[in-house]
Structure 1
Amino acid sequence: MNYESSKKLSDVRFKRLVGVERITFEKMLEILTVAYQAKHSKGGRKPKMSLEDILMATLQYLREYRTYEQIAADFGVHESNLIRRSHWVEETLVQNGFTIGKREIKDTDTLIIDATEVKIQRPKKQKLNYSGKKKIHASKAQVIVTGQGRILFLDVQLNYCHDMKLFRTSRRNLSKAQEILADSGYQGLTKLYPQAKTPIKSSKLHPLTKEEKSYNRALSSRRIKVENVFSKFKVFKIFSTTYRNRKKRFGLRMNLIAGIINFEG
């Protein structure tokens, strides 16, 4: 689907097919136009595709995760041409604001932490990327969001590791937060931050009481914001199916999607 065809779509259908709202698309196009004019101010060969179609093809790649060859055939260009243009789009958008903005943690903030796995193809060094729990090879991404669902921090780990280890290696200082919510993968977080809350775990000798079960349910209902954020990431099939690309652009693409989520708020 090219840009001209997308004009006939309703706003709801545009969002479902492209992955972003129409106003987000227009903002992205504005950034790319300024960057392109600055880059080619002294002239140069014009691309075969318009900026609108280049952006549309890039978003289709992230949203649908078809091969570049398939998308290039739809737009009537060579695969290498589309790859080069799409990489420029991703880098330009991240450099010009479509990433996680800097914001100081306030003493009234409730922060929610969680991590998710992204399945990858079997690598050469299998042990570094193997998840025994999920029985897959995976990379991990950790997000820290506010109680309103805005992403404050994104940490990417290309090799698989435990949630708590990822948090320790990220070295995020959350001491100013009023409250920190996390799941059972972050057991031990309360030793670092007294204001942290994690689920109460049961054992064979000590089953949970009704009050403890109620506490865990209430905590889960408050943590739903971070799960909603992950669902928005997984709308883009590049992160909900097996990631086929090289790892060096994994973090950049994660940051781009995080910027889109924050922009659409």
Structure 2
Amino acid sequence: MICRLTMAILSVVTGKGRQHDFSIFKDSRLLLHPDALLLADSGYQGIKKHHQNSTLPVKKKKGQPLSAEDKADNKALSKRRILIEHVNRRCKIFRIAKDVYRGKHKHYSLTWKLVAALVNLRYGCI
């Protein structure tokens, strides 16, 4: 979870083994303020059930192209989400977060939290 104003990493949640991001989000039970805006990618279909104030890109229906308005909305959303992807890139600079994790699995969450803290410290988000 990232704050768009400060670009600080607020929370890191990990799962055991290979899990989809949305299932990790559902299992984490993060306490989010109802007015907080969630910008998610298309992998989070169904997030409206868990958080009403969330924005997803519009997916095209089978056999029907997207309208010009839907394309413009998706482009505007991707322009807002690119900042989140830049923070992900900052984390992936650290090789331990980019490559296959070879440490003890019980320390995986701690490792990601340390990488997030280093990213926040390096870019002055704290």
Equivalent in the alignment of 1:161? 19
Shift of 1:176: 3.2
Q: Kindly, what percent of the aligned residue pairs are identical?
A: 35
Distance in 2 between residues matched to 1:192 and 1:239, nearest whole Å: 28
Q: Which SS does the other structure have where 1:218 is aligned?
A: helix
3-state SS, counterpart of residue 176 of structure 1? coil
Letter in 2 for 1:169: D
Deviation at 1:177, TM superposition (A): 3.2
SS state at 2:97 partner: coil
In proportion to residue count, which structure has more strand?
1
4+ long deviations beyond 3 Å: 175-178
1:192 aligns with 2:50: yes
Amino acid at match of 1:242: V
1:158 CA drift (Å): 2.4
- For the 8 Å contact 1:184–1:199, the answer to whether it is kept is yes
- Uncovered stretches (5+) of structure 2, i.e. residues with no partner: none
**Superposition pairs for residues 131-142 of structure 1, below 5 Å?**
none
Q: Equivalent residue of 2:34, what SS?
A: coil
The question of 1:248 aligning with 2:106 is answered yes
What corresponds to 1:224 in structure 2?
82
Q: Is the 1:147–1:225 contact (alpha carbons within 8 Å) kept by the matching residues of 2?
A: yes
Q: Hey, what does 2:120 align to over in structure 1?
A: 262
User: Does the residue aligned with 1:250 lie in a helix, a strand or coil?
Assistant: helix
Alignment deviations for residues 115-145 of structure 1 (CA, whole Å, 9 cap, x no partner):
xxxxxxxxxxxxxxxxxxxxxxxxxxxxx11
The Cα shift of 1:204 comes to: 2.0
Distance in 2 (alpha carbons) for counterparts of 1:153 and 1:214:
30
Counterparts of 1:156 and 1:231, CA distance in 2 = 17
Give the deviation of 1:239 after TM superposition: 1.6
**TM-score (norm: length of structure 2):** 0.87
Pick from 147, 151, 155 the counterpart of residue 4 of structure 2.
Answer: 147
Match of 2:34 in 1: 176
Question: For residues 8 and 35 of structure 2, what CA distance do their matches in structure 1 show?
Answer: 15
What are the within-5 Å matches in structure 2 for residues 29-178 of structure 1? 144-148=1-5, 149-178=7-36
Larger Rg: 1
TM-score relative to the length of structure 1: 0.44
CA distance in 2, matches of 1:150, 1:228: 12
Q: State whether residues 90 and 119 of structure 2, in contact with CA within 8 Å, keep that contact through their aligned partners in structure 1.
A: yes
CA RMSD between the two structures: 1.4
Q: Secondary structure at the match of 2:113?
A: helix
CA distance in 2, matches of 1:208, 1:175: 32
Structure 1: give runs of 5+ residues left out of the alignment: 1-143
Q: Greater RCO between the two (CA within 8 Å, min separation 6)?
A: 2
Partner Cα distance (1:165, 1:243) in 2: 21
Deviations 1:56-84 (A, max 9, x none): xxxxxxxxxxxxxxxxxxxxxxxxxxxxx
1:162 shift after superposition: 1.8
Q: Does 1:203 align with 2:61?
A: yes
